[in-house]
C-alpha cells in the first residue's frame, strides 16, 4: 500500500523516512442503533423522504418527493368522490416500504442531524402529523367539493324550472318532473347539505311557477298543472312540503269551477267533466256549492231559447244538457236531488220543445225535418195539448215535400166542410191518402182486388178515365171546405209504386171524385 513519505534528519545527518496510512473512502459504519433506525423509518413515513436525507441518500429523497408529488397531482383539487382505494393502497405500501428501508439504512448509519437518536424519533413522530393533517385538509376540501356539486345540482334544477316558466304545461311537464326529482334527491339523500337547506324555498318557487296560470286567472289552463301539483306528495314527503301539500286544493277547486262555468255559459265542451271532478274531489268546497245554481241557470236559459229565433238549437242543447246533468255526481246532501230535477226539467222541456222546433222547420221550408220532429213529438207526448196539431203539421209537411205549395200555410186543427169529395182506389196497392189545405187529414184505402196497373201509354189516350169501370173500388167520402186542397196518394205495404199528388180547387155546388191508380211502363211504376 502506498502513501505519502516523510523524512527527518538525525544527529548524524542521516535521513529516515516512513509512509502515512491512507484516508478511508467513507466513514466507518456506526455501531448498530435501533432507536436511530426507528427515527429514520418514522421520518420516511411522512412521505417527505427526510429519513433518507439525514442518512445522506439524496436520490432516494427525490424519489419520495416525486411519489408524494404524483399523489398530490392525482388527488388535487379534491373530488367529491375522494381518493380511489387503489391510489391510497399503492401510496400506503410505498410509505411502508420506504419506512422499512430507511430503518434498515439508519440502523448503522450516522445522521447528518440531529446527533441524538431520540431527537430524530421525536421529529419523525411530529412529521407523521403531515400526512394526517394533509388527510384532514383533503377531507375538508372533499366535503366542500361535495357541497359545490350539490349546489350545482340545485342550480340545474332551478334552471329547468326557469326554462319551463311561461311555457305550455303540456310541453314542459317533463322538465318540472326532473326538477322535482332533483329537489327530492337533495332533501332525502343529502339532508345536511347547504343545497338541501335551500330546497324548501325552491319548492315554494316551484309551486308558484307551475301554478302561475291560476294567478293570471287563466283557469282552464291552470287545471292540469294544479292537478299535477296535487300528485307531488307522492314524490316528496309531506313533511318536507309542509303547507305546500295542500297549496293546490283551493286553487284547483276554483279553477275547475271557473273553467266549467265559462264553458257551460258558452255552450262548449268540457264543463261536465270538470264539474264532475269538482263535485267528486271537493264536494264540501264553496265552488262546488255553485255548481247546481249554474246548471239551473243554464237549463233556464235553454228553455227560454226554445221560444226564440232558433228553437231547434235550443232543443238540441236541452237534450244534451239533460243527459250531461244526469251524469253529474252529487255526493253532498241535496245536490243530487237538485241536479236530478234540473236534468228532468231539461229533458221534459226538450221533448215538448220539439213541437216548436218542428213548426220552425215547417215555416223555413225544411219539410222533411219537420215531419221527423212532429212524429217524434207525438210519439213522446201523446197526451200533450199540441199533439193533435203536430199530427196535422206532419201530414202537411209530407205533402209539401211533393207539392211545395201545400206548405205555404201552417195547418190548423180545423176539420169538416160543405163539399163532398170521394176518393177511390183503382189500384191493387193499399194506399194512404193525405190531404191538406183549409183542413188537413189522412186515411187509408185498401187495394182493389180486381184492379191492375194501367199501361203508361194508355194514359195518354184521349178520354182515359180511371175509376170508370164497374168494379167495386175501395173508397171513402170526406167533407172539405171551399178552397184549394192538396192530395198525396202514398202506396203502403212495401209497394214499388211511387207517391202521386193532386191539387183540387173545390167550389160550392159540385161533387168531387179523387181516383188513385197505378201506371207501369219502361220498368217504372207510378
Compute the distance between CA of residue 351 and CA of residue 316 in angstroms, rounded to an integer. 10
The pLDDT tens digits for 220-236 are 999 999 999 999 998 88
Of 40-54, 91-105, 267-281, 356-370, the poorest mean pLDDT is in 40-54
Calculate the CA 399 to chain-centre distance.
54
pLDDT in tens, 476-493: 999 999 999 999 999 887
pLDDT value at residue 524: 36
Helices (H), 211-333: 212-215, 219-229, 238-241, 247-266, 271-281, 286-289, 291-305, 311-326
pTM of structure: 0.68
Instruction: Kindly report which listed range (70-74, 255-259, 404-408) carries the lowest average pLDDT score.
Output: 70-74
Residue 445's DSSP bridge partners are 431
The total of other beta-carbon atoms located within 10 Å of residue 359's CB is 20
Instruction: Say how many CA atoms lie within 13 Å of 521 toward its Cβ.
Output: 9
| Predicted pLDDT at 6 | 45
pLDDT of residue 41: 65
Q: Is the pLDDT of residue 1 over 50?
A: no
C-beta atoms surrounding 452 within 10 Å: 12
Q: Which residue has the higher pLDDT, 429 or 460?
A: 429
* Paired sense of beta strands 519-521 and 454-455, if any: parallel
Peptide bond into 114 cis (omega under 30): yes
DSSP code string of 4-63: -EEEEE-TTS-EEEEEPPPPPSSPPPPPP-HHHHHHHHHHHHTSS-HHHHHTT-HHHHHH
**Per-residue pLDDT tens digits for 282-297:** 999 999 999 999 999 9
Q: What residues contact 184, with CB distance under 8 A and at least 6 apart?
A: 235, 236, 240
pLDDT score, position 56: 75
The per-residue pLDDT for range 358-389, each reduced to its tens digit, is 999 999 999 999 999 999 999 999 999 999 99
- pLDDT value of residue 420: 94
What pLDDT does 235 receive?
A: 86
**Residue 375's pLDDT is what?**
95
Query: Using DSSP, how many helices (H) and how many strands (E) does the chain show?
Result: 19, 12
pLDDT cut 70: percent of the chain above it? 76
- CA proximity to 264, closest of 203, 312, 328: 328
CA 518 to chain centre: 65
CA–CA distance, 362 with 368 (Å, rounded to integer): 9
In which residue are the cell numbers 377531507 written? 139
- Omega within 30 of 0 (cis) for the link into 68: no
Assign 3-class secondary structure to 250-264. HHHHHHHHHHHHHHH
**Cα distance between residue 148 and residue 516, in whole Å:** 102
Confidence of residue 86 (pLDDT cuts 50, 70, 90): confident
Closest CA to 477 of 439, 423, 426: 423
Mean pLDDT, rounded, for 159-169: 88
- DSSP class of 479: E
Q: What is the mean pLDDT of residues 147-167?
A: 86
Amino acid at each position: 500500500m502506498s502513501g505519502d513519505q516523510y523524512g527527518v534528519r538525525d544527529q548524524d545527518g542521516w535521513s529516515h523516512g516512513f509512509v502515512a496510512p491512507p484516508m478511508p473512502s467513507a466513514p466507518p459504519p456506526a455501531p448498530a442503533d435501533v432507536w436511530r433506525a426507528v427515527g429514520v423509518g418514522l421520518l420516511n413515513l411522512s412521505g417527505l423522504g427526510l429519513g433518507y436525507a439525514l442518512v445522506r441518500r439524496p436520490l432516494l429523497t427525490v424519489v419520495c418527493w416525486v411519489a408524494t408529488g404524483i399523489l398530490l397531482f392525482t388527488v388535487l383539487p379534491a373530488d367529491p368522490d375522494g381518493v380511489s382505494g387503489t391510489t391510497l393502497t399503492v401510496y400506503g405500501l410505498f410509505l411502508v416500504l420506504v419506512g422499512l428501508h430507511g430503518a434498515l439504512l439508519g440502523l448503522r448509519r450516522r445522521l447528518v442531524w440531529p446527533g441524538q437518536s431520540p431527537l430524530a424519533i421525536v421529529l419523525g413522530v411530529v412529521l407523521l402529523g403531515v400526512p394526517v393533517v394533509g388527510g384532514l385538509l383533503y377531507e375538508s376540501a372533499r366535503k366542500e367539493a361535495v357541497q359545490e356539486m350539490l349546489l350545482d345540482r340545485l342550480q340545474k334544477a332551478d334552471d329547468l324550472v326557469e326554462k319551463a316558466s311561461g311555457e305550455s304545461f303540456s310541453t314542459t311537464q317533463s322538465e318540472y318532473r326532473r326538477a322535482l326529482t332533483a329537489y327530492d334527491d337533495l332533501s332525502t339523500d343529502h339532508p345536511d347539505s347547504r343545497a338541501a337547506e335551500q330546497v324548501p324555498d325552491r319548492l315554494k318557487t316551484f309551486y308558484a311557477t307551475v301554478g302561475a296560470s291560476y294567478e293570471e286567472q287563466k283557469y282552464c289552463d291552470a287545471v292540469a298543472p294544479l292537478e299535477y301539483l296535487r300528485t307531488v306528495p307522492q314524490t316528496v314527503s309531506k313533511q318536507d312540503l309542509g303547507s305546500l301539500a295542500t297549496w293546490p286544493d283551493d286553487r284547483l277547486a276554483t279553477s275547475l269551477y271557473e273553467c266549467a262555468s265559462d264553458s257551460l255559459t258558452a255552450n262548449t265542451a268540457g264543463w261536465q267533466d270538470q264539474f264532475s271532478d269538482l263535485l267528486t274531489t271537493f264536494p264540501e268546497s264553496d265552488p262546488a256549492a255553485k255548481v247546481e245554481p249554474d246548471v239551473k241557470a243554464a237549463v233556464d236559459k235553454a228553455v227560454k231559447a226554445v221560444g226564440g229565433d232558433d228553437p231547434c238549437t235550443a232543443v238540441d242543447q236541452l237534450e244534451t244538457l239533460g243527459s250531461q246533468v244526469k251524469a253529474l255526481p252529487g255526493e253532498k246532501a241535496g245536490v243530487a236531488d237538485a241536479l236530478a230535477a234540473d236534468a228532468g226539467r231539461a229533458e221534459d222541456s226538450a221533448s215538448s220543445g220539439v213541437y216548436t222546433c218542428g213548426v220552425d222547420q215547417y215555416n223555413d221550408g225544411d219539410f222533411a225535418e219537420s215531419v221527423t220532429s212532429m212524429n217524434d213529438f207525438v210519439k213522446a207526448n201523446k197526451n200533450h195539448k199540441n199533439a193533435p196539431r203536430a199530427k196535422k203539421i206532419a201530414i202537411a209537411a209530407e205533402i209539401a215535400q211533393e207539392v211545395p205549395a201545400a206548405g205555404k200555410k201552417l195547418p190548423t186543427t180545423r176539420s169538416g166542410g160543405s163539399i163532398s169529395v170521394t176518393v177511390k182506389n183503382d189500384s191493387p196497392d193499399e194506399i194512404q191518402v193525405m190531404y191538406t189545405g183549409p183542413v188537413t187529414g189522412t186515411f187509408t184505402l185498401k187495394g182493389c182486388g180486381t184492379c191492375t196497373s194501367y199501361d203508361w201509354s194508355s194514359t195518354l189516350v184521349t178520354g182515359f178515365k180511371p175509376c170508370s169501370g164497374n168494379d167495386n173500388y175501395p173508397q171513402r167520402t170526406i167533407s172539405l171546405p171551399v178552397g184549394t186542397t192538396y192530395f198525396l196518394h202514398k202506396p203502403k205495404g212495401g209497394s214499388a209504386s211511387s207517391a202521386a199528388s193532386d191539387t183540387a180547387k173545390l167550389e160550392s155546388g159540385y161533387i168531387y171524385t179523387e181516383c188513385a191508380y197505378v201506371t207501369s211502363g219502361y220498368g217504372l211504376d207510378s
